[in-house]
Amino acid sequence: MSLQTAAWLVLAMPLAGTILIALGSRGLLTGKASGWLGTVAIGAAFVFSLITLVKLQDLPSEERHVASSLWDLANVAGVQIKLGIYVDPLSTLMILIVSGVSSLIHLYSVGYMASDRGYARFFAYLNFFVFSMLLLVLAGNLALLIVGWAFVGAASYMLISYWYRRTTATTAGIKAFVINAVGDIGLVLGTFFIFREMGVLDYGELFGGVQEAFPKNDASLVAAMILILVGAFAKSAQVPFHTWLPDAMEGPTPVSALIHAATMVTAGVYLIGRLHPLFEWAPTAADVGVITGAMTLLIAGTIGLTATDLKRVIAYSTMSQIGYMIMAVSAAAYVGGFFHLMTHAFFKALLFMAAGSLIAAMAGEQSLDKMSGFRKAMPFTFGCFVVGGLALSAFPLFSGFFSKDAVLYEIGQRGGWYVVVYVIGYLGSVLTVIYTWRMIFRAFWGEPCEQARQLEHGHLYHAPHPVNPMTGELEDSGVGFPGEEHHIAEQTWQMKWAMSVLAGLAVIGGVIFLPFGIMDSLETFLEPAFADSIIEHPENKGLEGLGIGLTSVLAIAGIAAAYRIWVQRPGTSAQLQGRFAAVHRLFVNKWYFDELIDLLIVRPFAWAGRWSRDSFERIVVNGLVVGGSTGVVKAGSAAVRAMQTGLLRGYAALVIGGLAAVLLYFLIRSA
Amino acid sequence: MSVNWYLVVSALIFSIGAVGVLIRRNPLVVLLCLELMLNAGNLALLGFSRTWGDGDGQIFALIVLVVAACEVAIGLGIVVALYRKRLPIDVDELRELHG
Amino acid sequence: MTIHLSIVLWLPVAAGLLSLLAPGAARWISLLGASAVLAYGVALLADWDKAGGLQYVTDETWISALGVHYKLGIDGLNLVLILTTAVIFFAAALWTALREPQMPKPGLYALLMGLAQTAVTGAFMAQDLALFVVFFDLMLVPFYFLTLVWGGPQRAPAVLKLFIYTLVGSLLMLVGAIATGVLAQAGPGGSVSFVLSDLEQVTLATGSQHWIFLVFAAAFLIKMPSFPFHGWMPDGYMQMPIPVLAVFASILSKVAAYGFLRIALPLFPEGAQEFQELLMLVALASILYGSAMAFTSSQARLILGYSSLAQLGFITLGIFALNDRGVDGALLQAVNHALVTVPIIFVVALLAARSAGSEDIRDMGGIATRAPLLAALFLILTFALLAMPGSANFIGEFFILLGAFESKTAIAIVAFVGVAMAAVYALRLFITSMHNRVGPAVDPRDMSVAEGVVLWPLVLVILALALYPQLAMERGERAVEESLAKVQALHGSGVAASAEATAASGAADAGEAFGHAQADGEKAP
């Protein structure tokens, strides 16, 4: 099997999965069959990704970028859009992460979604999402990237509104889609700016030709890259395009785990990494990326400190961690950035899965205010939370420790003003540790709540009537709602297995890239993809040591502080809220971004629509233009109609008078 | 006898007929006046036929008579129908074409 | 000299006349006629020589005193449009046959639809200016009667308004057409000729080109419709019966777009050049205004009508970018929009049937709960409607916006707002009708087999085109170049030449500067 075939099969597997599940959903596939079919499809994609990896490593280092295309989607007027893929170490890393984590989440979902009425639809959508993400990552030219980008957005919309009878879910879905569409526009417009000078869309030609086509930091190129950053920010939920991500938690938890933690939101990171030759040639745009990543990191961290919905805390955490990654790849810290992407996929997916289990135990309730003391009732879930939390907090020797360290070290290596960013990164670490352990301590320590007590006796809590956890609206168990049944990890083997694998990876996943050069297999692997990078990374052992020390200290101190505030002295957090009330309000209201966007964008457009309909259409178009022209015609015909009197004598008079006039005329003429 | 006298008489009769069509309101009288106009035309035709010495004018006059007869037949038929439907026998009242 | 085109052209009317004589089987005769035309159309597509040029030409002298010829022909511009027309009328005939068996006066209906198909196909095929004007005006007549007899409750004033308004534009166009023929004196020995190939040899005076272009533009903009001449559209769209609306909304507007490319650009290049910015601004206004109205309307038909206003704004924008890319995109988008409009109007009918006859989206909701197939199909159509990347509509918009971007950058950037607004109104339509709580009067049931038979093939065509948009684009390339030749000669160098130059230089430099042995790993596409 050749490299190209393996790569195409990676794409084909989830697509086949979607189509087969969709076709079979009307009767052929019963019970959990569609779930297993979906999981097997993604598992097969993972296997083919491994084959691709092996074949890629067989090639000599300079040749590890292979393009392959099937046919031309369009080839007219000098614009050629191929249906083509590009396989290099970066895309191979991405397809491994995507297919690997996706298959585990599929396995988890087989158990978690088991009593949902729309089971087959879920797996069809989930497979379609994986296909879209793989297409995005494997695409070989900007146009196909945009197609994959949009498919991912569409899949995200379909999965966020999965429980479509919930108005909160459908609103969240359309919000996510529209913000994503704005990102798409940024991507397309950026592509136009690039295409205007270069005339090509394929990666190979773009990367090779950018330095000839544009002078360094040329205004046109910077504009193009900033527009592309808009696309990246919208997809990766960076400020100010992030408002869709917390709302996206309306989707079922596996969706949050897969799309909004491990894969889709990392697409922006991949984009910047993939287009790095262009970003490095337009440093202003790259700096915009760094600054935005840094801002998001902090803002999201502060909101996570005060959020009370369990999934939203994890969502803001994701936003913050992606801020790290965006910061990293914009600052040319590629290995660190993608290393963190990988470990983050592991521990964040794990955290979401565990959260799903906890929410199931609460019968759909997601508020931290109502959860407490689940340690004894859910030992496995608790263990997963702890492992995920330790990895997220960059606790020494966990995977998150090595990856966050790598990110910040590589940024620090650049020196200059990047020192500020370095410091912000560590500030963010403090926030990360605190909000993570706030969440864990609140949910698992303290007096067991009603649901926990029932579970300790082996009885899974069921709410008297299914409701929407956000609004309290009554629901039922039909299709389009989650229904009454819930599944927790302790009782569902699929969930347990998937979470165990991820927990293991969260612990040992850091081994592929250790500091001080002890192990650099990831760097060596990614080297051919970033060989054309023009940014230097001088080694600095002192900085490396400082980084490791600082990370460890902050992690341990942070956990201790959180323990103090939320376990040892329970009233402390209320005191702090009282003392910093204004700041607290700012954080709780998510820095008022939703309100700002509503004021600046939503309301003007709504007003424009209303004005058009009520005033303009009625008065100008109907009154003036249509009324005017038809009025003229009607007046004309009315005038002519007035001549039809029906009076016989009148007509006779006309005839005789006219005849006499004509005769007289000729008579006078001839005389 | 020059033809002029015949033409003057013809013109006189034609004018009387035309004025009658314009002034009278009874359709029967309008038809009568129409007949006057047609026959005035006939007289002129016959006069010219006598002048040129061939029969063209007389043949044409015969055709005019035929046409007049047909037209009067239809006209009288319409008047009778009007009477039967009890509509006013007045040319000014009859201006809408429905019924 | 071939008769292929005359057969394709007159077969629908013939079928209509037969239906009139046999009203009992009218639906099936009409369907048979439409399928025959469709089969013929596909055969022509396959048989058409890709080397280009006008093919299957039929040329007879019709009114020799005026130099009017009965001349038909197919080249890259109208080939795919003619096939699209056949597909659309076939779909409408299939819908009527399967889903409306109790329609009154079926024979008359079949005749009028046949006449409509003939007129539209004729407008596309005509290679003579007077013949084009005849078919263009003829197009409107059957729709007048179709709406008057089978339309909604307030159809009489609506259709009268539509008719008069469109006719005003057509009258202006007639004046322009006659003026062109007379002023050009393009026939042999300086006599009047209306044949397009003769008229293209003659260059009119600049002043004449300007005013004649304006009257043609007015007629086409009214027909499309385009802001601000769209006042007839809301009432007209609300009152037409569904299959008539499907045909009207999808294909009549494309005749206007095609008219720009076939007549206005080649014959009046100075006029096009002079008024390019004005028309691009009108197009932009259509995009923005149509989108704004679409997301505040609550009648499903009006949402689609205003959405068409916006989409046709994009097509006009592409045409008046006056470069190869914009026009290629506009042509593809014309086909795409037609193919998407028909099934989505049928879906609106299905939705109304499931919410107690109301087409107001506020009365709908939650229809997807027992209609998963309908939901899936509607979602695919919604994504196509908003030109999501992956659909052929995206490729069309990509080319249009690229062409506009290269021509008038600022206008193109503002036009992108329309893309975002399209996402809003399209999804709003889908979500309010299919998702959220089940509406009080809603009876959610899935598509019947008959409805599926009409809709799924159309959706499959849309999906097939999404996989290979080149099918609709490659044959038009040369014809588009020819259509734009005169206008681009006024510009200076054509954009196509400069594009090839940049592509060549970019690729050549990339090969050298990249350094790695690229050729080894690359598979030739």
C419–A178 C-beta distance less than 8 A: no
Contact list in C for residue A72 (CB cut-off 8 A) is: 470, 525
B22–A648 C-beta distance less than 8 A: no
Segment A142-168 mean pLDDT: 93
Q: What is the pLDDT of residue C38?
A: 94
Total count of residues recorded for chain C: 525
Residue B41 lies in a domain: yes
Closest CA to C506 of A363, A342, A204: A204
Q: Is C322 left (phi over 0), alpha (psi -120 to 50) or beta?
A: left
Segment A85-89 mean pLDDT: 93
Q: What is the pLDDT of residue A452?
A: 85
The helix or strand, by DSSP H or E, that contains position C68, with its residue range, turns out to be: strand C68-74
The helix or strand, by DSSP H or E, that contains position A567, with its residue range, turns out to be: none
d(CA A281, CA C229): 48
Q: Does C508 score more than 60 pLDDT?
A: no
Q: What is the pLDDT of residue C511?
A: 40
pLDDT < 70 positions in chain B: 1, 97-99
Contact list in C for residue A178 (CB cut-off 8 A) is: 420, 423-424, 427
> How sure is the predictor about A621, in pLDDT bands with cuts at 50, 70 and 90?
low
CA distances from residue A482 to A338, A360, C419 in whole angstroms, order as listed: 35, 11, 33
d(CA B54, CA B45): 11
Whole-complex ipTM: 0.90
d(CA A422, CA A411): 6
Segment C163-172 mean pLDDT: 87
Q: Does C520 score more than 70 pLDDT?
A: no
Closest CA to C132 of C210, C72, C84, C182: C72
Q: Does C516 score more than 80 pLDDT?
A: no
Residue B94 lies in a domain: no
User: Looking at chain C from residue 472 to 491, which residues have their Cβ under 8 Å from any Cβ of chain A?
Assistant: 473-474, 476-477, 480
The helix or strand, by DSSP H or E, that contains position A489, with its residue range, turns out to be: none
Of the given ranges (A537-551, A624-638, C395-409), which has the lowest mean pLDDT?
Answer: A624-638
- b/e code C95-115 from CB counts within 10 Å (16+ = b): bbbbbbeebeebbbbbbbbbb
Q: How far is B96 from chain A (nearest CA, A)?
A: 6
Q: Does A571 score more than 60 pLDDT?
A: yes
Task: Output the CA angle A165-A168-A169, nearest 5 degrees.
Answer: 65
Q: Are B and A close enough to touch, i.e. 3+ CB pairs under 8 angstroms?
A: yes
Q: What is the pLDDT of residue C492?
A: 62
d(CA C61, CA C288): 46
Q: Is C138 or C490 the better-scoring residue by pLDDT?
A: C138
Segment A536-553 mean pLDDT: 85
Residue B29 lies in a domain: yes
Of the given ranges (A658-667, C161-170, C260-269), which has the lowest mean pLDDT?
Answer: C161-170
Q: What is the pLDDT of residues C174-195, one digit of tens each?
A: 999 999 988 888 778 778 888 8
Q: Does C52 score more than 80 pLDDT?
A: no
Looking at every residue in chain A, the average pLDDT score rounds to: 89
Q: What is the pLDDT of residues C239-288, one digit of tens each?
A: 999 999 999 999 999 999 999 999 999 999 999 999 999 999 999 999 99
* Cis? peptide before C228, omega within 30° of 0: yes
Tokens linked to A1: 């099997």
> How sure is the predictor about C162, in pLDDT bands with cuts at 50, 70 and 90?
confident
CB-based contact A159:A251 (threshold 8 Å): yes
Count of Cβ atoms closer than 10 Å to residue A384 Cβ: 27
Q: What is the pLDDT of residue A174?
A: 92
Q: What is the pLDDT of residue A177?
A: 94
Q: Does C519 score more than 80 pLDDT?
A: no
Q: Does C512 score more than 60 pLDDT?
A: no
Segment A21-26 mean pLDDT: 83
Segment A311-332 mean pLDDT: 93
Q: What is the dihedral of CA A216, A222, A223, A227, to 10 degrees?
A: 140
Q: Does A623 score more than 80 pLDDT?
A: no
Segment C331-344 mean pLDDT: 95
Tokens linked to A453: 């007590």
Please report, as a single letter, which amino acid is at residue A448: P
Segment C47-62 mean pLDDT: 83
Q: What is the pLDDT of residue A469?
A: 81
CB-based contact A283:A345 (threshold 8 Å): no
CA atoms within 13 A on the CB side of A347: 33
- Exposed, middle or buried, C285 (CB in 10 Å: 0-12/13-18/19+)? middle
Q: What is the DSSP string of A304-361?
A: HHH--BHHHHHHHHHHHHHHHHHHHHHTT-HHHHHHHHHHHHHHHHHHHHHHHHHHHH
Q: What is the pLDDT of residues A156-211, one digit of tens each?
A: 999 999 999 888 999 999 999 999 999 999 999 999 999 998 888 999 888 988 88
d(CA C451, CA C512): 57
d(CA C284, CA C416): 10
> How sure is the predictor about A626, in pLDDT bands with cuts at 50, 70 and 90?
low
Q: What is the pLDDT of residue A624?
A: 65
Q: Does A625 score more than 80 pLDDT?
A: no
d(CA A156, CA A264): 8
C234 touches chain A (CB under 8 A): yes
> How sure is the predictor about A316, in pLDDT bands with cuts at 50, 70 and 90?
very high
Residue B97 lies in a domain: no
Count of Cβ atoms closer than 10 Å to residue A308 Cβ: 14
How many domains does chain B fold into?
1
CA A371 to chain centre: 28
Of the given ranges (A25-29, A207-211, A249-253, B35-39), which has the lowest mean pLDDT?
Answer: A25-29
Residue C1, C-beta contacts closer than 8 angstroms, at least 6 positions apart: C57, C58, C59
Q: What is the pLDDT of residues A93-114, one digit of tens each?
A: 999 999 999 999 999 999 998 8
Residue B91 lies in a domain: no
Q: Percent of chain C at pLDDT above 70?
A: 93
Q: What is the pLDDT of residue A33?
A: 87
User: Looking at chain C from residue 442 to 471, which residues have their Cβ under 8 Å from any Cβ of chain A?
Assistant: 467-470
d(CA C102, CA A520): 76
B95–A656 C-beta distance less than 8 A: no
Backbone angles phi, psi at A514, to 5 degrees: -105, 150
Q: Does A300 score more than 80 pLDDT?
A: yes
- Domain residue ranges of chain A, discontinuous segments joined by +: 3-588, 594-670
A147–C389 C-beta distance less than 8 A: yes
Contact list in C for residue A155 (CB cut-off 8 A) is: none
Per-residue DSSP letter, B96: -
Q: What is the pLDDT of residue A263?
A: 87
Instruction: Name beta bridge partners: C71.
Output: C59
Segment A552-568 mean pLDDT: 88
B91–A648 C-beta distance less than 8 A: yes
Structural domain including B66 reads 3-84
Of the given ranges (A104-108, A527-531, A590-594, A625-629), which has the lowest mean pLDDT?
Answer: A625-629
Segment C149-165 mean pLDDT: 86
d(CA A376, CA A373): 7
CB-based contact C233:C305 (threshold 8 Å): yes
Please report, as a single letter, which amino acid is at residue C10: W
Residue A415, C-beta contacts closer than 8 angstroms, at least 6 positions apart: none
Partner chains of B (3+ C-beta pairs under 8 Å): A
Q: What is the pLDDT of residue A622?
A: 67
CB-based contact C435:C349 (threshold 8 Å): no
Q: How far is C518 from chain A (nearest CA, A)?
A: 7
A652 touches chain B (CB under 8 A): yes
Question: The CATH number of the domain where B14 resides is what?
Answer: 1.10.287.3510
Handedness of CA A372, A311, A306, A504 (dihedral sign): positive
Q: What is the pLDDT of residue A627?
A: 67
Task: Output the CA angle C91-C96-C100, nearest 5 degrees.
Answer: 150
CB-based contact A250:A168 (threshold 8 Å): yes
CB-based contact A349:A261 (threshold 8 Å): yes
Q: What is the pLDDT of residues A58-74, one digit of tens each?
A: 988 888 889 999 998 88
Q: Percent of chain A at pLDDT above 70?
A: 99
Looking at every residue in chain C, the average pLDDT score rounds to: 87
Q: Does A459 score more than 60 pLDDT?
A: yes
Helices (H) and strands (E) counted in chain C, each on its own, are 25, 2
Nearest to B22 among A645, A646, A649 (CB): A649
* Residue in chain B nearest A653 by alpha carbon: B22
Q: What is the pLDDT of residue C500?
A: 47
